[in-house]
Amino acid sequence: MVGPYRRAASPKLMRTALPQPQRPEPRKGTKTKLLGVVLLILAMLDAMLSWRGGFALQGIVPVLFAGGLILLVIGAVREGV
């Protein structure tokens, strides 16, 4: 039947017809990889600006680069890639 005379569907039928969305598993290592990429970009920007200005690279640039690379590798390992 159609309209107000129609019987309501049983809850069991509704569960089978419209399954509830399941939560995806949390992606481990994504934030760590993102922080590593940000540090790498900052290190490269600092190195390019120092190079353009004719200055020698200071001690912070290799530290930023190494830290970013380490965080990127740790994040990739945690994510399972």
Q: Say which residue the tokens 């129609």 belong to.
A: 6
DSSP-assigned states of every residue in 4-34: GGSPPPPHHHHHHHSPPPPPPPP-TTHHHHH
In sequence order, what are the residues at sequence separation of 6 or more whose Cβ sits closer than 8 angstroms to the Cβ of residue 69? 36, 40
What is the full per-residue pLDDT of the chain (81 aa) written as tens digits?
555 666 666 555 555 555 667 777 778 889 999 999 999 999 999 999 988 888 887 888 999 999 999 999 999 999 886
Local structure of residue 8 (DSSP, 8 states): P
Q: What is the pTM of this model?
A: 0.65
Predicted local confidence at residue 10, as pLDDT: 59
Side chain identity at 26, as an amino acid letter?
Answer: P
Predicted local confidence at residue 71, as pLDDT: 95
Predicted local confidence at residue 22, as pLDDT: 79
